[in-house]
Structure 1
């Protein structure tokens, strides 16, 4: 029997990672919007100073990794649910491989770029 795997090889682990990553992204969003709300009319220097503090760099790293995992698991599920031979014929396997490869490359590039933005200086 062929094993269908997402990020971890287990549907329940993928489900758990997706929920944890959603919580991390929600916390990050609330922190960012909260700072903007309480610092109206801020300058680039204030924004940069806030974003480059160690707690925000760590939270941003967690958000980048969470978004990468969340996107990969979500897109893998969409491809396995909707890009099937039953719906698209024999070409579905090749299309799914191309789409999955594109998502893997995009998520990897996004994660490396995001990490570099916060930790390169």
Structure 2
């Protein structure tokens, strides 16, 4: 069996499960953040930094950022292999999106954990 090196998962069904799981995490994070903004009348720096001082919020945020990375990685691979027939252009598009996704994830890591 031939496996595609560009996919995040090991197979199509594995990618399917990763996409759904990452989407659920992103929805939960979005709902939490929307609830936070709706329930907090005045979001100041102290309130914001207090929220992210909690370890569970840092972990939840990294989980959400990891979900964005996984979802974006699989999504751009699927869309580009379906619609971009020129292999050089497809590789370039995948490279640009992959570097961007990794940059977002690393930025979140450095901001949250001060690495």
TM-score of the superposition, structure 1-length normalised?
0.87
1:95 maps to what in 2? 89
Q: Conserved in 1, the CA contact under 8 Å of 2:22 and 2:70?
A: yes
1:88 maps to what in 2? none
- Equivalent residue in structure 2 for 1:109, among 95, 103, 115: 103
2:60 maps to what in 1? 59
- Structure 1 residue runs of 4+, over 3 Å off? 1-5
For the aligned residue pairs, the C-alpha RMSD in angstroms reads: 1.6
Q: Deviations over 1:55-111 (max 9, x none)?
A: 110100100100000011111111001001xxxxxxx01101111111221111111
Q: Supply the distance in 1 between the matched residues of 2:41 and 2:73 (Cα, whole angstroms).
A: 35
TM-score of the superposition, structure 2-length normalised?
0.91
Q: Deviations over 1:17-49 (max 9, x none)?
A: 010000101111111111111111221111111
Structure 2 gaps, min length 5: none
Note the C-alpha offset of 1:52: 2.3
